[in-house]
Structure formats: structure tokens, C-alpha cells
Structure 1
Amino acid sequence: MTAIRDSVAEEAPVRKGTSGRGFLYPGMVLPFCLLVSCFAAWGLAGNMTDPLVKVFRSVFSMNNFQSSLVQSAYYGAYFCLAIPAAFINSRLGYKGGVLIGLVLAGTGGLLFIPAAYVMTYSVFLTALFTLAAGLSILETSANPFVMSMGPEHNATRRLNFAQAFNPIGSNLGVLLAALLILPKVNPATAEQRAAMSQETLLATQSEELKAVMGPYVALGLLYILLAVMIGRVKVVERPVESTAGESGGPGRLMRLLRNKRYSFGVVAQYFNVSAQTCIWTYTLHYVTDALGVSDKIAGYWLQASLIVFLVFRFLMVGLMGRYDARKLLLLMCSLGVGLSLFAMVSVNILGVLAIVSLSACISLLFPTIYGEALLGLGEDTKYGAAGLVMAIIGGATMPLVQSYIMDKTSPAVSYITVAGCFVVVAAYGLYTLRAPRPVSAA
């Protein structure tokens, strides 16, 4: 049975007369389904990590800026590992990159075991960095891998479909954090913790950090299981249609930099990930400040935000069958600016609803920017994909800006950061509408 499945997956890409029709090339259904499960799996990690900013702030009695280093470690790993991932993809193919990424991410999840017993913030950051390093390689490989599994003319829509499963994992991640982590965090303030005896404080922190450990260890085991399953399916990757030259090295870098659709796309992706990370990271801060509720109740609002993201991701995939994805991007970014500004001045239940609604605005941004920026890159696609994943560094840097503004003003005022991010992404959408399409995408 395995041999038959493997032969189908290997032979399907080279059949004639089918390359221009359908959503996937023949025989690609099983590899595509397994790869889509990876999109859900890394979404689970990303959004289970968002609440850790506030968890570690409480456990270790830190300010917002210090606790935001959680996001710096997580998204900084994406930046550091994207280029190595491109080299891996060039030498071992997209599948090789997916497998290495899953194993490394699994190792990061298991590192939460020693971190919970050492009870040191820096060790948790190391575990998060390792986990995210694996996810960086996984994402750098999986996104273009999905695009290569079918005709180029519907590659962006195919990527949007695969990315639609990412918020399923995101919702599960937030739910796990709300059920397994946040309820175990002692509500004691920094002053109350300082007044505890050393034994009581250590016992309290140990219980809290072991609650953090459990879900991440399970996540690490899930990544290793996925690696085993994907490793058993053989897929021959199709050569990429090329409009670029064959030279690599400095020539490739200069081609990418001179390609405005791509280079502007990297900038837009930076600000898109910045907006997404800031929205979800500081939803808890905004809700608790605006409504005066506990972190647990605020966690349900974050869950609602992720549900909105999930529903609109699938809705946007459907709308893209009738409307230009670039126009939808411009529309949603404009709405995002308006909602951010409204939340700044209406710090009440309506402002909270505006914050939750921002998830609808970001629902189609990542895969649409990704697909538009890679159009026509040909042989440069693997390295172009790495540049777009490096743009995820926005998730490491922009929360520091927002947290600094928050420490100086309030959670509501800090959302001016999100509004500015939407403006930049909207500008990219406008540019892609006005610029000529690459020849190979026609």
C-alpha cells in the first residue's frame, strides 16, 4: 500500500495535460493534506505563546517591556533561521526543510521540561527560541511547497486555503492557554509576591511554570509525530517556472532587491506580522484595562478574536474566487486603520469589540502578501521565501515599541502602533494593483 502511494506521488507531477487545470496536481492530495496539518500545528504554537507575555510578567514580576522579550525570542528565531532554511531547501528540497523544521520545533517543545524545573526566565526564552527556529524552517519550506503543488495561476488561492487552517491551530492554542495555563497563574501582584517568603514564592512559581510546561511538551511530541508521517510520503518536487536568471549568490540578492513587487512585499509582510502580533499579544492588556475583568475572562475575548480570524480566513478564500485578492487586502487594511483609531478613543465594550474585529482585517494578509511577492521569481523563489519569513522579525520588534508606548501611556493609546502597520500594508496593496503583473503569472 505504501509503495503504491509513493509511486503515485512521484509520477503525478510529470503527467501531461493536467498542469494547467485543477487546484492540485494529480496524486498530490495526501501530501497536501499532511502539509496543511503543519499550518495548523505552527498556528497552535504561535498563539499559545501570546498569553505567555502576561503570564511571565506575573510569575517573574516584570514590566511590559521585559515580558515582551517572549515575542522577541520567538520571532527573532524566525529571522535568524530563514536564510539557513533557504539553503536547506536548495540542498534537500522543500520536504527536507519541512522535516528538519518539525524535528527542531519538537526539540524546543521538550526543552520546556528542564526550563520548568530550573525556573529561570532565560531558559524559557531559550526553549521558545529553539521551538520557533524549527517553525521558521518549517514555514519557509511549507509555504512555497504548497504553492508548487498545483498550477501557478491559482497558487495564491491555494496558499490562502492552506493558511486558512492556521487559525484552527491558533484557536486551539489560545483555548489551551485559557484552560491549562492562565487559571494556574496566581493573581498575586508584584508587591504581594515580594512579601512572600522564599519558600512560598518558589512553590508558587513552580506550580505556575509546570502549568506552562505541559502544553508545550505535548506540542513537541506532536511535531515529531508529524515529521514521522510526512517522512513516509515521497514527493518529487516540480521545477519552478523561471523568469529570472540562473545565477545565484550576489546576483540573486540583487535581483530580489531590484524587484519592487518582492522587496516592497517583504516590508509589507514585516508590518503585517507586526500588526498581528501586537493585536493578539495586547488584547489581554486592553480588555482588562477597558472592562476591569480578570486575565481569565480577557482570555475568552482573545479566543473570540481568533474565532473571528478563523471564520474570515475561510470567508476570504471564498471571496477570492470572485474578487481580486489585492482589492480585498486594501479594503481590510483600510478598515483596520479605522478600527484601531476607534479603539483608542472608545475604551469600553465597543472598543473591545473593535479590537476583536481587527482579526478579521488581518485574516487574508499574510498569504496574499506572500503569494503576490513571490510571483515570477522562478529559481529565486526559495530564497525569496526566506526573505518573506525573515520579515516575521516584525513580531519580535514591534511589540517592544507598543509595550514602551503602553508603559508611558495606556493599552488603548498603544494601538496607534497597529494603525500605522495597517497603513503600510494598504500601501503595498495599492502598489500591486497599479504595477504590471509578472509575465509568468499571466
Structure 2
Amino acid sequence: MTGLAIFATGALSFWPSSVLRSYAGFVVSNLIIGLGISCLEVAANPFIALAGPGELSEARLNFAQGLNGVGATLSPIVVHVALFAGVDHLDLFRVQWCYFAVALFVVSLVIIFYYVPLSEASDDDLEAMALQRLYNAGLDPGDKAFGIAARHLILWSGVLAIWFYCGNREAVVYFWTPLVQDIKPGYDSFWSLTIGRSLLSFGRFLAAGLRFVGIPPRITVGICMLSAFVTSFLALVLPQGSGALTMLLLCDFFEGPVYPTYFAMILRGQGKHTKFAAAATTTAIFGFALWPSVVYGVQQQHLTFSRSALLVVLILFGISTIWPVMLSSRRVLRRWVDPKWSKQRATEASQHGRGSSGS
């Protein structure tokens, strides 16, 4: 509710900035909205990952993030085609009413959540759940991999992997128009980005379904990262035309499941540190802010070749792929993140007289 309240405050603060036509006010408004969204991200993702069978955490989070992708796909279409077509710097009337409507909707959600009882887990509950799961997997909380406590290694290496992933994701989106015009001159950049976002959402829904088949998330995300690396490489080296553009769009498809799957895997087994892990993982999203600047610097060295942005993306994909490979290389790490050990709690735990719990 705190995140929603901050979000609503930011949306309402847009009204005076639009009336005064103040760019500084607009920036402050968006900063407040961003703070609210960050609070929501810290609270909502762990809730989705933990509220239900532990072996399906990745499925729930991929499905939820897929819905987020649907919104990210449809909202620009509504803005582009219906709401703000023809709006200039002197006509902010419709824009401010849109922000106001969003604020009212968010306030209504705050009221609903205030009266609807939602499950909460204390640090002790989360620790008991994690210990039960480690017992099922035949692990101890102090087990190490590469000389580092597995819990800490998974958390901080995962945060770093998400930081790199978010960087290359935003770098592609930020420079989408010059990329598309270099890859296929004359092609509509707006609708190609819309197709890319649609494929990203579809990839998340597909990854959610694959969890019911029983494929370990580390395998799924490893294949996705490797495929994203290959498709981005092909988009870089193929000649101008539909083939290179198709590879760029497929890169979006393979990127889709990475963030929600990484997030759920990082939280698994963190116990009483789950809330801190969620905050640290959400903080890693600030890769959005840094890496586009790096890509811009690279592009300035290759002004006649806009696809040079993909050079940075390739490097970041390569680094991000190390994480699922690392998790698969050690027994301790495999058992720590694989969801199947959450599913065994009802059988093995009951045989040993221990209570059941989730991931």
C-alpha cells in the first residue's frame, strides 16, 4: 500500500507541473512515481514468488511479468493512436486528466488492499520454510560453493546478473529506432518495437508453462540467454533486411523470461534474508540508467554504424549467461535453486515428523 500511495502522489503531482508547464516539476513527478513503482516491485515480486507452491514460483512470476508486458505493449498503442495523437507542448489538458485518472485508480487499489486481508510471512516463517526446503535437498544453510556460502553467492551473483541483463535490455529499447533504421531502413520503428514487446510477453507466458513440464528454471534461463546472445550476434552481422530484423525481434522473445526467472531463483532459500534479497535484486534494475550511456559512447565512435550498440549488448549477454552455467556446475547450487526440492516437502518431511512449508 505504501508503494501505491507514493505512486498516486507522483501521478497527482503531475497536474501542477502540467498547468505551469514546468519541466522540473515533470521530472520530480516521475521521480516520485518511480519511487512508488520500486516499492511495489520490492513487495509484489516476493509475494507472487512465495504465495503458493514453492516449485511453481518461477511460473507465477513469469505469468505476472507477462501481464506486465501486455500492459507495456498496449499502453503505447493507446497513447500513440488514441489519446495523445496531435498533442503539442501547448496542449496538456488530456495528459493531465490521464494522470489524474491513473491516480484515482491507484487510490482505489489502496482502499481495496487496506480492507482485503493478505497473507504475511515473518522472517521466522521464511527461515523455517527455507530450512525445510534445504532439508529436503540434503543441504545445510552453511554449505559453500567456490569457497563462498551458497546463499550469499546466489544472491550477489544473481544481483549482478540482473544488473547486466537490465542494462542490455534498456540499451536495446533506448536505441531501438536507429537500430531498426540501420537494420531495415524505412521500417516503422514504433510497430517493430510493439512486436518486440509482444514477443517478450509471449516468452514469459511460455516460460511459465514450461515450469509445469518440469524443466529446471536454470536450464530454461540458460537456453534463453544463449539464444539471446546468438540472435543479437546475428542481428549485428547479417546484412540489412528482414533477416536481421527478425533476429533482433527474436532477441526480445528470448530475453522475456530472464528477469522473472532470475528473481525467483535468487529468492529461493534466502529464508529470513528474503526481504533484503528482494530489495537488493530490485535495486539491480538501476542497470537501466547506466548502460545506455555506455552504448551511447560506443555509438559515438561508430557514427555510421548504429548497430554498434549491439556490441555492448553481446558482451552483457555473454556475462549474464555465466550465472545459469555457474548454478549448473555445482551440486550445492543446483539443489539450492531447483524447484523440485520444494515439492518433496509433503512426503519426505512428513516421514521425519517435520511440518510442511513452501519455497
Assess same fold via TM > 0.5.
yes
Q: CA deviation at 1:288?
A: 3.6
Matched, 1:314 2:230: no
Kept in 1: contact 2:216–2:338 (CA 8 A): no
Question: Alpha-carbon deviations, 1:39-72, whole Å to 9, x = none?
Answer: xxxxxxxxxxxxxxxxxxxxxxxxxxxxxxxxxx
Q: Where does residue 107 of structure 1 map in the other structure?
A: 9
Conserved 8 A contact 2:218-2:338: no
Q: TM-score, normalising length from structure 2? A: 0.79
Supply the distance in 2 between the matched residues of 1:113 and 1:350 (Cα, whole angstroms): 45
Alpha-carbon separation, structure 1, partners of 2:337 and 2:292: 38
Instruction: Give the superposition deviation at 1:368.
Output: 0.9
- Written as runs of structure 1 = structure 2, the 5 A alignment for 1:126-205 is 126-180=28-82, 183-184=85-86, 204-205=88-89
**Residue 344 and residue 210 in structure 1: after superposition, are their counterparts in 2 closer, same or farther (change >3 A)?**
farther
8 Å contact kept, 1:273–1:395: yes
Counterpart-to-counterpart distance in 1, 2:22 and 2:89: 10
Q: Give the secondary structure class of the aligned counterpart of 1:236.
A: coil
Task: Give the secondary structure class of the aligned counterpart of 2:212.
Answer: coil
Query: Retained in 2: the 8 A contact 1:269–1:388?
Result: yes
Aligned partner (choices 338, 343, 346) of residue 230 of structure 2: 338
Structure-2 change in CA distance of 1:332 and 1:258 (3 Å): closer
Closer/same/farther in 2, CA of residues 339 and 120 from structure 1, 3 Å limit = farther
1:283 maps to a residue whose letter is W
Give the aligned partner of residue 103 of structure 2: 220
Residue 214 of structure 1, CA deviation: 5.2
1:386 corresponding residue in structure 2: 279
Q: Which whole-Å deviations, capped at 9, do the CAs of 1:205-253 have from their partners, x for residues lacking one?
A: 223x666555444433332222222222112324214458xxxxxxxxx
Q: Deviations over 1:332-360 (max 9, x none)?
A: 11111122222223343332222222211
Q: 1:217 to 1:343 in 2, by over 3 A?
A: farther
Instruction: Give 1:157 shift.
Output: 2.4
- Give the aligned partner of residue 247 of structure 1: none
The offset of 1:428, in angstroms, is 0.5
Equivalent in the alignment of 2:173: 280
* 8 Å Cα contact 1:117/1:206 also seen in 2: no
Distance 1:287 1:141 in 2: 36
Closer, same or farther in 2 for the Cα pair 1:164/1:439, shift >3 Å? closer
Identity %: 24
Unmatched runs of 5 consecutive residues or more in structure 2: 132-147, 342-359
Deviation at 1:181, TM superposition (A): 7.0
**Correspondences of 1:242-391 after superposition (within 5 Å):** 242=128, 243=130, 259-293=152-186, 297-322=188-213, 323-345=215-237, 346-391=239-284
Cα RMSD between the aligned structures? 2.6
CA distance in 2, matches of 1:257, 1:324: 18
Aligned length: 313
CA apart distance, 1:264: 0.4
Aligned-pair CA distance for 1:107: 1.7
Q: Larger RCO: Structure 1 or Structure 2 (Cα < 8 Å, ≥ 6 residues apart)?
A: 2
| Aligned-residue offset at 1:289 | 4.2
- The SS at the match of 1:205 is coil
User: CA offset at residue 399 of structure 1?
Assistant: 1.4
Q: Secondary structure at the match of 2:89?
A: helix
The Cα offsets for residues 294-313 of structure 1, whole Å up to 9 and x where unpaired, read as 8xx32111111111112221
Q: Secondary structure at the match of 2:116?
A: coil
Name stretches of at least 5 consecutive residues in structure 1 with no aligned partner.
1-98, 186-203, 245-254
Change (3 A) 1:342 1:182: farther
* Alignment equivalent of 1:438, drawn from 332, 336, 339: 336
Q: Which deviations, in whole Å up to 9, do the C-alpha atoms of 1:389-411 show, x marking residues without a partner?
A: 00001011111212232344243
**Is 1:206 paired with 2:99?**
no
Alignment of 1:401 onto 2:294? yes
Report the secondary structure of 2:110's partner residue. Answer: helix
Amino acid at match of 1:336: A
1:279 to partner: Cα distance: 2.2
Find 1:422's aligned residue among 295, 314, 317. Answer: 317
How has the CA–CA distance of structure 1 residues 420 and 213 changed in structure 2, closer, same or farther, with 3 Å as cutoff?
farther
CA separation in 1, counterparts of 2:172 and 2:35?
Answer: 23
Pairwise CA distance, 1:101: 0.5
- Is 1:240 the counterpart of 2:126? The answer is yes
Residues 1:258 and 1:314: Cα distance change in structure 2 (over 3 Å): closer
Distance (Å, rounded) in 2 between the aligned partners of 1:277 and 1:313: 17
